[in-house]
Structure formats: C-alpha cells, structure tokens
Amino acid sequence: MSRISMQNVSVMTVQYWHYSFEYVLDSIEKCGLKYLELWAGAPHYTLDDYPDRASASRKIAKMRRQIEDRGMKVIMLTPEQLNYPFNLAGREEEYRQKSIRNVARLMEDALEFGTNRLFVIPGWGLLDEPREEAWKRSVDSFQVLSKRAEELGVKMVVEQLQPYESNLVNTCADMERLLKEVNSEQMEFCVDLVAMEVVGEKLQTFFDVLGSRVRHIHLADGNPSGHYILGDGNLPIQEYIDTLERNDYTDYLTLEINDSIYWDDPHTSIEKTVNYLRKLIPEV
C-alpha cells in the first residue's frame, strides 16, 4: 500500500490567470510546494502568441529557467482547451485539423518545459448533431496524435469532463471506450474528482476499470460541482486519499482550485488548500 504525501502534490496554475508568472512562482514557493501543472494560456504562455518554433522556444526557455531557479518542476503541460478555439471533435474539417496541429505543437512545448506529459481533452460535439459523429472525429484525432506522441515519447493525459463542458467523455465507461477505440500506449487518464461526483461515480471504479492507466488526479472540493478550496465544499477528501493509497497510487495530485470567487486572491485559495491537505497527509 502506497502512502500519499505532500511530495505527490502539484498546483494547477490556471487559478492565477489574473496575475503575473512571477506572482505564480512566489505563491507556490510560499506554500512550500515545488511541482506545477502548468496551465498554458494567456497571459503566461499560449502557443497562439508565437507563430514559429524558435520564438516559442525562447519564451519557454525563459519560463523554464524561472521555474528551475526556484527548485521547481513542471510535471504536466495543460493548455487551455475549453475556452480557446480548438476542438479535436470539431465538425468543420479545417477546424479539426488546426486543432490536431495545435496539440502536436504543444507536445513539443511540453518537452521543452521539461515534461513528457500533455493534458489533452477529447473535444465536444455540436448539440444539434448525433453524438456518435463527434465521437468518431475525436477518436480519429487521437489516433493521428498518438503516432506523433509515440515519435516524441509524450504521454497524452485525458480527463473526463462535466456534461456542460463536453458531451463525449463524462464517465469511466466513456474513458474505457475511448481507450479501446484509440488503442494507444501513449494514452493515460486523469480523474477529475469534481466531474466524477457530478455524474455520481466512485474513484475505485476508475482503478477497477482502467487500472494503471489512471496516472493523474485533479483534486478540489465541491457541492458536488465547483472547484473549491478543500473544506469549502462537501466532498469526501479523506475517502479519496484512502482510495488512492489502497490502490498503490504514486503519481501526482494536482490542486485544481479554479473558481471565479477566488480569482482576486489566488494565493490565499492555494494556501488554505495546502494547509487543509497537510492535516490529512504527511510531508514525505
């Protein structure tokens, strides 16, 4: 049985999108953590701002130096994919192909940030078209990207989403189907505990069905929706930790505190969450 500790904990940086990147690093350092799940979006970094590989690489190198100078590390690159205009299941072929190219570019970005893990969502279908048509496009996109991921040695980490975010992958069964149809060793899964609670599933189910493909966890509180400070909602945080330990989980728990009620003071939201978690798990 594994023992989860604060060494498993990383911070999703999307919470800081109204602040500078220097503020992000100062905040996480003050919280005594060193792992970042780096949100790739404005104003910190978004590939749309850099039209060629060389200019993107210069920006990434600068950010990586800032991170590593503080003894920190990027454990996964998580580009904005819900609000920014690309969709692996997009109906318009030009739109979908652009989305595939963007994700392939982001694989290179991830490696330059020092991680071989890229967070990729399955996209979504239009609500006035058959879901299966969008599903097939998503699978096709993942199959194309899997070949590039294998060439680069990158793992695509796929998360289930809440129904308002996507109509494709919302449940463990959806994840299992996606894995079977894409059929790639480059695909791993992140379980978003809030999305899991919204559809009434249990964390143990994901381990029973997906086994060692569960390689990442997004942790937040909720009621059940929301991505709140731990303790601000009513989700069973200790139960999640017990389940992870029972399944010998040794990968990362990312604190995904992401709600507009905290955006004015993101540091306090992360600090309170870290303090709450330190009461439940040891430092090492």
Which pLDDT value is given to residue 84?
A: 76
Within-domain flag for 204? yes
pLDDT tens figures, 204-262: 999 999 999 999 999 999 999 999 999 999 999 999 999 999 999 999 999 999 999 99
> Is the per-residue pLDDT at 162 higher than 80?
yes
Within-domain flag for 118? yes
**Residues of the domain holding 221:** 6-278
Which pLDDT value is given to residue 2?
A: 76
Within-domain flag for 284? no
Within-domain flag for 1? no
Within-domain flag for 157? yes
CA pair distance 12, 62, nearest whole angstrom: 20
Residues ≥6 apart with Cβ < 8 Å to 32: 6, 274
Structural domains counted in the chain:
1
Within-domain flag for 283? no
Within-domain flag for 51? yes
CA pair distance 23, 263, nearest whole angstrom: 13
Domain with 59 in it: what CATH number? 3.20.20.150
pLDDT tens figures, 59-114: 999 999 999 999 999 999 999 998 777 999 999 999 999 999 999 999 999 999 99
CA pair distance 169, 178, nearest whole angstrom: 8
Within-domain flag for 263? yes
